[in-house]
Chains A and B, each alone.
Chain A
Amino acid sequence: MKSDFIQESNFSAMPTSEAILEAEKVTVHYGSFMALRETYINIPKNQITAFIGPSGCGKSTLLRCFNRMNDLIPGAKVGGKIRFHGENLHDRKFDKRIEEIRRRIGMVFQKPNPFSKTIYENIAFGARINGYRGDMDELVERSLRQAALWDEAKDKLKQSGLSLSGGQQQRLCIARAIAVQPEVILMDEPCSALDPISTLRIEELLHELEERYTIIIVTHNMQQASRVSDMTAFFNVKATESGQRQGYLAEYDRTEVIFQNPKEQVTQEYVSGRFG
C-alpha cells in the first residue's frame, strides 16, 4: 500500500495497487471558462475506476486529459500535471510522442464510432499504423474474442463495421482499442447508447479486461458504477460568484465506501438519487 495514494486529507482510503496515472492539481480551461478545478486523483493499476457526477462537472474533460485528446479542442488549456508511470504527459518532451501516449492509453467513446471499413480493417488499422509486426489475423481474432464479439463477427469480418448493431459496434470499438495493446482504456459512457443486455455484456467484459488493463469508466448509471468499479470518483459542480459552473472532484474512495458510507453529504445525496 502506498501511503501517498490519496493526496487530499479527506480521502483516506488506500487502494491496494500502485497508481498508473496520477493527476496533480489539474485545471482545465475552455477559453476563459474553467471547466475543471484543481483536481488530484490517482488511478490504480489493473483496477476499474468509475467517474460519476452530474452533467457538465468535467468527467469527460478530465478523461481527455489522460490521453491528451484535449489537444484537439481549440482553446482547451490543461494546467497541472498528469503523470503516467511517474512522467508528466503534458510535458513538452511528450509533444512529439503523443501518438505513443494514445496507443498506450486507449479510448472508447460514448457513441460507437467504428470506421467506415470492414470489421477486420477496423481492428487492423490501429495495429498497422503503430507498426505491429505480428500475425494480423491472429491479433484480429484475439481482440474480437477479448471484446466478446468473435462469435457474432467471425463470419463477416469482410463486412462493414457499420453493418453491426449498436451494441456490437461498441464492442468492436472496444476490440479496436484493445488491439493496439494499451495499458489503460478510457471509456466515456460506453453503454449510454446500449440496451440492458448489451450493457450487461460490456460490464462482464470489463471484469475480464480488468486483469490486463487499467480502466477508467465514466457513467451516469449508479448501479453500473457500483457493479463494475473498484474505485469511484464523484465529481460535482459549484457556481462561482460570477455565476460560472466549475467542476471539481468532490470525493474519491473505494466504490463501496462511496455508495454505502460516503464522507460528503453531496455524495450521499447523489448516489442515493436525492441530488439537486
Chain B
Amino acid sequence: MSTSRPIADLDSPSESNFNVALPSRHGLDKIFEVASWVATFVGLIVLAALLIDTVVDSLPRLSWGFITNFPSTRAVAAGVLPALVGTLWLLVLTTLVAFPLGVGAGIYLEEYAPDNLFTRAIEINISNLAAVPSIIYGLLGLQVFVRWLLPVTGGRSILAGALTLALLVLPIIIITTRESLRAIPGSLRQAGFALGATRWQVIREHIFPLALPGILTGTILAISRAIGETAPLIVVGAATFITFLPTNLQSKFTALPIQIFNWVSRPVVANPDKNFQFNAAAGIVVLMVVLLGMNSIAIFLRNKFQKGRA
C-alpha cells in the first residue's frame, strides 16, 4: 500500500484506476435537478392557468341558483340540477357495480387462479381492455345494455349509463387490485398458511386489509375519470335537455360532462341571455368540486384504513 494522500489529491488520476471527476458529476446532477424542476413547473403553470381561466369565466353564473335550477333556454336562468343529480347517481351506481366485481376478479386472478395459459390470456386481455378508447365502451354499452337488455335497463336509462361506465373502469380496478395485492409480501401469506389458515382466511385477515388503501385509491381515481367521461354517455344516449330528476334506475338522465359539452358547443354571442359559455365554465367548476370531493374521500379512507391496522 502506498502512503495515504491528502484528500485534495484524490481526484488526481495518478496511480489510481478511479477517475472521480466530481465537478462534472455534480454539474450533471445540477442539470437534471433543474430539468425535473422545469418539468414540474410547466405542468403546474398550465394547470393553474386553466383553472383560473375557468373559475373567472364561471363567476358570472356561479350561484346557489345555478345548482338548484333546471336547464333553460335562457342562459342566466339555466342550472345544472338534473346533471349534478345524474352524475351523483352514476357515481354511486358505477361504484356499486364496478367495485365488488373488480376487486373480486382481482383477488381471484392474483390469489386463487392457477398460472396457466388460460389465466395468462385473461390477464393480457384485461390489460388491453384498460387501454381501449372509452367510446368503444359506449358502443358496447349501446348494444348490450340499451338494446339487448332493454327489459332490464329500460333503454337509454341511467342504469345503462352506469353499467357502461362500470365496464369502463372494471379493467382498471382489477389491475389496481392485483397490483396492491402483489405488493403484500409473500412471507405474510406463508405465515398464515403455516398456521393452518385457508386461503380465504389469509386473504381476509392479512392480505386484503393491507391492500385495501391501495385498492381504494386506485378505484376512486378510476371512477373519478369515468365520471368526467362524455363520449360513452353520449353513445348510450344521455339526454341533453332534461327537466326532471331521475326517480328510478330506468329514468332518462343527463350528467355534468354532457351538460357542459352541450353548453360549450353553443355559439358565442354578445347577448348575455344567449351566451352559455359562462354556464359551461360554472358547470366545470361544479364537476371539479364533485371530483375533488371524491378524491378527499379517497384520502380520508386511505388514512383511516392505514391507521385502523396496527
Taking Cβ atoms with an 8 Å cutoff, the residues of A that contact B are: 67, 69, 72, 74, 99-103, 106-107, 109, 111, 113-118, 121, 125-126, 129-130, 158-162, 173, 176-177, 180
Contacts and interface: CB of A to CB of B under 8 A. Distances in A.
Given A109-B190, A109-B191, A115-B191, A126 B310 contact: no
A126 B206 contact: no
Contact of A161 (B194, B196, B310): B310
B309 interface: yes
Contacts of A121: 310
A116 B188 contact: yes
Interface in B166-217: 185, 187-198, 201, 205-206, 209-210
A74 to B, nearest CB: 6
B115 interface: yes
Question: Is the contact region of chain B dominated by helix, strand, or loop, or is it mixed?
Answer: helix
B188 to A, nearest CB: 6
B161 to A, nearest CB: 40
Contacts of B185: 113
Given A69-B193, A116-B310, A121-B310, A99 B187 contact: no
A177 B192 CA distance: 10
B187 A109 contact: yes
Given A117-B310, A159-B310, A126 B188 contact: no
Interface residues of B, number: 22
Given A74-B115, A159-B310, A69 B188 contact: no
A177 B197 CA distance: 12
A159 B192 CA distance: 19
Contact of B309 (A106, A116, A126): A116
A69 B195 contact: no
6 contacts: A102-B196, A103-B195, A115-B188, A118-B310, A125-B205, A129-B205
A103 B309 contact: no
Nearest to B209: A116
B117 to A, nearest CB: 14
Contacts of B201: 129
Contacts of A111: 187
Given A99-B198, A118-B310, A129-B201, A113 B193 contact: no
A173 to B, nearest CB: 7
A130 B187 contact: no
Contacts of A107: 190, 194
Nearest to B210: A116
A158 B309 CA distance: 11
Interface string B277-289: 0000000000000
A102 B193 contact: yes
Contacts of B195: 102-103, 106, 125-126, 129-130, 176-177, 180
B192, B193, B206, B310 interface centre (most CB from chain A within 10 Å): B310
A79 to B, nearest CB: 21
A160 B309 CA distance: 8
Contacts of A106: 194-195
